[in-house]
C-alpha cells in the first residue's frame, strides 16, 4: 500500500528546512534523512543500555529505551499511514523522542534536575533537542545533526515557559515559540506523543508481570485490561491455566493495543473531518486533533494510574531508583567539585566552558549521556562503592 500524504500532513517538499542548508539527496526525502541521521547517532546507540523501568542488568527481556523507541515508532508509523500523515517524519520523531533521557529513567532525570536547580534545571525533552542540535559531533562544519524544523518541533514535546523564552531568544519564531503562543505542533508530533503513552503502558504491563512485581489478577481491576482478559479467556479457555498465562497476557496486550490504535484513528479522523485544516499551519492554530475518545482516554488514564502505584512505585523499583539517584547526585557533586575527576577530554571540555553555569551544564550533559552501566562504573571508580550490581 503506497502512503498518500494528506493536505494537513507535513510534506518534506515544503519543510521549513534546516539551520545549515544542505543540497537535496538524490534518493531520500528530508524526513528520511532525519531518521537516518538519528539512527546513526551515538545517542541512539546508547538507548540500548538505558533504563525504561527496569535497570538493564535486571533481565535480558525487559524493555530498554531502545526497544521502547522502536515500539513507539512501529505504532506511530502504522497510525500515520492510515491518517495520511508523513510516516517518515513520525518515525524520525519517535526514534529520537527519548534521546535526552538520563541513565536510570525518571529517577535519574529528577536527581539531575535537582542538581541543576541553580543553573536552569534539567528537562529530558529539552535535552533530547539539545542532543540533536548541539551534543552530537559528527559533521565537519557544525555541531548537532542539523535536522529539519518539523523533526525538532516534534522532539520538543513539552517545554517550560522559562526554557521556551530561552529558546525563543536564540531562535526567534523557532521550536520554542509555540509554547509561548499556545499553539500546537504538527499532527505527526501530536501522534508521537500519544503513541509514546500507548507503547509504554502496554509494555510496562508485560514487563511488570514478567518481573513478578504485578500479577495478572491485579490487572483485572483495570477496565481496559479486564475486558480483554475475559474475552481472550472465553475465546481460548485452554489459556486459563498457570502454564499458559504468558500467552493469555500477550493476547490480552495485543487486543488492548489494537483497540487503542483503532480508537485513535477513528477519533482523530473525525476531529480532522470537523476542523478541516487545509495545511499544517492551520493544524498548528487549532486545538489538539490527535486524541483518544473520551471513554478510551479514561481507560488509558486508569491503566497509567495503576502502573504508577503498583509498578513504578513498587518498593523493589523504588529501592533501585533511590540507589540510582544517589549515583547521579554523587557523580554530579564529585565532578562539580573537581573537574579533574572527569575522564579524559571531558575535563578539558568542561574547563573550556565559560561561566560556572556553563561548566555545570557541561557536567549535566556528560551525566545525561551516560548509560546505566557506565554511570555505575564511574560511580564505583570514584567512590569505591558498588550501589547496584552491573
Ligand atoms: Mg518514551
- Distance from the CA of 12 to the center of ligand 1, in angstroms? 24
* Residue 344 binned pLDDT confidence (cut-offs 50, 70, 90): confident
Tell me, what's the pLDDT at 127? 97
Which residue, among 146, 145, 152, has the nearest Cα to 176 in the 3D structure?
152
Decide if pLDDT at 143 tops 60.
yes
For residue 362, give the C-alpha cell: 557541561
Burial of 234 (0-12, 13-18, 19+ CB in 10 A): exposed
Tell me, what's the pLDDT at 245? 87
- Distance from the CA of 155 to the center of ligand 1, in angstroms? 11
What average pLDDT does range 261-284 have in this prediction?
A: 98
Number of H helices, E strands in the chain: 19, 0
- Distance from the CA of 271 to the center of ligand 1, in angstroms? 25
* Contact predicate 263/292, CB 8 Å: yes
What average pLDDT does range 221-244 have in this prediction?
A: 92
Tell me the CATH architecture of domain 2-200: Orthogonal Bundle (1.10)
* Rounded Cα distance, 232 and 226, in Å: 10
Tell me, what's the pLDDT at 388? 80
Tell me, what's the pLDDT at 387? 85
What average pLDDT does range 19-26 have in this prediction?
A: 95
For residue 306, give the C-alpha cell: 495503576
- Distance from the CA of 50 to the center of ligand 1, in angstroms? 12
For residue 302, give the C-alpha cell: 486508569
Alpha carbon of 117 to those of 110, 112, 360: distances in Å?
10, 9, 11
- Distance from the CA of 97 to the center of ligand 1, in angstroms? 6
Tell me, what's the pLDDT at 271? 98
- Distance from the CA of 218 to the center of ligand 1, in angstroms? 25
Decide if pLDDT at 355 tops 50.
yes
CA 119 to chain centre: 24
- Distance from the CA of 38 to the center of ligand 1, in angstroms? 15
Tell me, what's the pLDDT at 60? 66
- Distance from the CA of 243 to the center of ligand 1, in angstroms? 32
- Distance from the CA of 83 to the center of ligand 1, in angstroms? 22
Long-range Cβ contact pairs of 293-302 (< 8 A, separation 24 or more): 293/263, 293/266, 293/267, 296/259, 296/260, 296/263, 296/264, 296/267, 299/222, 299/223, 299/224, 300/197, 300/198, 300/201, 300/224, 300/260, 302/222, 302/223, 302/224
- Distance from the CA of 52 to the center of ligand 1, in angstroms? 8
- Distance from the CA of 357 to the center of ligand 1, in angstroms? 28
- Distance from the CA of 91 to the center of ligand 1, in angstroms? 13
- Distance from the CA of 129 to the center of ligand 1, in angstroms? 14
Average pLDDT, rounded, for the chain: 94
* Contact predicate 125/158, CB 8 Å: yes
Least confident of 71-85, 260-274, 346-360, 362-376: 346-360
Tell me, what's the pLDDT at 56? 61
Decide if pLDDT at 268 tops 50.
yes
* HSE, side-chain direction, 13 A CA sphere, residue 19: 18
Handedness of CA 320, 198, 150, 286 (dihedral sign): negative
* Rounded Cα distance, 236 and 244, in Å: 11
* Contact predicate 275/196, CB 8 Å: no
- Distance from the CA of 157 to the center of ligand 1, in angstroms? 11
Greater confidence (278 vs 60) lies with: 278
Indicate the SS3 state at residue 385: coil
- Distance from the CA of 240 to the center of ligand 1, in angstroms? 32
pTM of the model: 0.95
Long-range Cβ contact pairs of 174-182 (< 8 A, separation 24 or more): 174/149, 175/129, 175/149, 178/153, 178/284
- Distance from the CA of 194 to the center of ligand 1, in angstroms? 10
- Distance from the CA of 94 to the center of ligand 1, in angstroms? 8
- Distance from the CA of 56 to the center of ligand 1, in angstroms? 16
Alpha carbon of 308 to those of 123, 317, 359: distances in Å?
20, 11, 35
The residue ranges of every structural domain in the chain are 2-200, 321-383
- Counting residues of the chain whose pLDDT is more than 70, the rounded percentage is 97
Decide if pLDDT at 4 tops 80.
yes
Angle of helix 30-39 relative to helix 87-96, nearest 10 degrees, comes to 30
- Distance from the CA of 70 to the center of ligand 1, in angstroms? 10
Give me the DSSP letters along 207-265: HHHHHTSS-HHHHTTSHHHHHHHHHHHHH-GGG-SGGGHHHHHHHHHHHHHHHHHHHHH
Decide if pLDDT at 59 tops 80.
no
* Contact predicate 50/64, CB 8 Å: yes
* Rounded Cα distance, 137 and 300, in Å: 39
Decide if pLDDT at 137 tops 90.
yes
Which residue, among 318, 325, 314, 356, has the nearest Cα to 339 in the 3D structure?
356
Beta bridge partners of 51: 64
Decide if pLDDT at 1 tops 60.
no
- Distance from the CA of 101 to the center of ligand 1, in angstroms? 9
- Distance from the CA of 293 to the center of ligand 1, in angstroms? 22
Tell me, what's the pLDDT at 45? 96
Least confident of 2-6, 111-115, 216-220: 2-6
Q: What is the DSSP letter of 353?
A: S
- Distance from the CA of 85 to the center of ligand 1, in angstroms? 20
Tell me, what's the pLDDT at 242? 76
Helix (H) or strand (E) holding 42: helix 42-46
* Residue 317 binned pLDDT confidence (cut-offs 50, 70, 90): confident
Amino acid at each position: 500500500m503506497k502512503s498518500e500524504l494528506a493536505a494537513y500532513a507535513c510534506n518534506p517538499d515544503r519543510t521549513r528546512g534546516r539551520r545549515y542548508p544542505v543540497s537535496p539527496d538524490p534518493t531520500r526525502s528530508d524526513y528520511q534523512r532525519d531518521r537516518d541521521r538519528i539512527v546513526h547517532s551515538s545517542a541512539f546507540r546508547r538507548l540500548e543500555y538505558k533504563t525504561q523501568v527496569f535497570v538493564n542488568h535486571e533481565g535480558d527481556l525487559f524493555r530498554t529505551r531502545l526497544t521502547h523507541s522502536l515500539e513507539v515508532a512501529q505504532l506511530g508509523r502504522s497510525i500515520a499511514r492510515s491518517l495520511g500523515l508523513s510516516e517518515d517524519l513520525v518515525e524520525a520523531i519517535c526514534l529520537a523522542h527519548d534521546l535526552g533521557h538520563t541513565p536510570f529513567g525518571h529517577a535519574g532525570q529528577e536527581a539531575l534536575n535537582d542538581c541543576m536547580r541553580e543553573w536552569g534545571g534539567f528537562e529530558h525533552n529539552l535535552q533530547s533537542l539539545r542532543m540533536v542540535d548541539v551534543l552530537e559531533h559528527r559533521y565537519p562544519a557544525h555541531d548537532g545533526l542539523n535536522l529539519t524544523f518539523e523533526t525538532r518541533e516534534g522532539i520538543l514535546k513539552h517545554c517550560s515557559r522559562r526554557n521556551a523564552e530561552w529558546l525563543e531568544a536564540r531562535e526567534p519564531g523557532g521550536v520554542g515559540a509555540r509554547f509561548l503562543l499556545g499553539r500546537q505542533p504538527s499532527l505527526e508530533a501530536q501522534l508521537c506523543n500519544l503513541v509514546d503513552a500507548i507503547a509504554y503502558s502496554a509494555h510496562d504491563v508485560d514487563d511488570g508481570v514478567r518481573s513478578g512485581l504485578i500479577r495478572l489478577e491485579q490487572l483485572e481491576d483495570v477496565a481496559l485490561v479486564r475486558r480483554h482478559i475475559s474475552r481472550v479467556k472465553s475465546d481460548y479457555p485452554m489459556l486459563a491455566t498457570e502454564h499458559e498465562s504468558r500467552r493469555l497476557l500477550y493476547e490480552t496486550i495485543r487486543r488492548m493495543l489494537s483497540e487503542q490504535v483503532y480508537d485513535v484513528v477513528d477519533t482523530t479522523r473525525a476531529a480532522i473531518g470537523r476542523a478541516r485544516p487545509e495545511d499544517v499551519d492551520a493544524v498548528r492554530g487549532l486545538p489538539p486533533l490527535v486524541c483518544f475518545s473520551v471513554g478510551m482516554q479514561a481507560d488509558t488514564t486508569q491503566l497509567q494510574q495503576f502502573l504508577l502505584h503498583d509498578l513504578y512505585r513498587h518498593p523493589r523499583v523504588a529501592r533501585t531508583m533511590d540507589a540510582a539517584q544517589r549515583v547521579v547526585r554523587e557523580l554530579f557533586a564529585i565532578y562539580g567539585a573537581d573537574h579533574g575527576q572527569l575522564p579524559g577530554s571531558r575535563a578539558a571540555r568542561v574547563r573550556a566552558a565559560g561561566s560556572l553555569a556553563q561548566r555545570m551544564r557541561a557536567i549535566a550533559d556528560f551525566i545525561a549521556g551516560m548509560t546505566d552501566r557506565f554511570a555505575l562504573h564511574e560511580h564505583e571508580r570514584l567512590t569505591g562503592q558498588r550501589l547496584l550490581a552491573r
